[in-house]
Amino acid sequence: EPEVTQTPSHQVTQMGQEVILRCVPISNHLYFYWYRQILGQKVEFLVSFYNNEISEKSEIFDDQFSVERPDGSNFTLKIRSTKLEDSAMYFCASGPMGQGNQPQHFGDGTRLSIL
């Protein structure tokens, strides 16, 4: 069964540094998403991406964050000038259609630790 893959599984970064989290969505999917989950808290939507542009974003997704699909397979989340509160599990997800019609398939996440 095809799956969403994320790298690295764990990223440790000094506060203030930039970090890039990488995702390879399922190949025939058209919609891509990033979520985060702070330890012990709920999963929070960050951003959705379709047709090479952001289709929706949450209030969490401020100017510190950006997403990119640099080629036909990768989907990246960049966090500039990381803060301690950015420490969380970051999940990438993809779907063949918009979420309103089809549930999403999640990668197994990148644990980001900001020191």
Interacting residue ranges for other proteins, rule: CB under 8 A: 31, 33, 41-45, 48, 50, 55-56, 58, 89, 91, 98-101, 103-109
Distance in Å, CB of 77 to other proteins, minimum: 15
Toward other proteins, which CB reaches closer, 16 or 96?
Answer: 96
Distance in Å, CB of 31 to other proteins, minimum: 6
What end-to-end distance do the CA atoms of the chain give, in Å? 37
Interior/surface letters 81-108, b for 16+ CB within 10 angstroms, e for the rest: ebeeebbbbbbbbbbeeeeeeeebbbbe
Distance in Å, CB of 16 to other proteins, minimum: 27
Amino acid occupying residue 11: Q
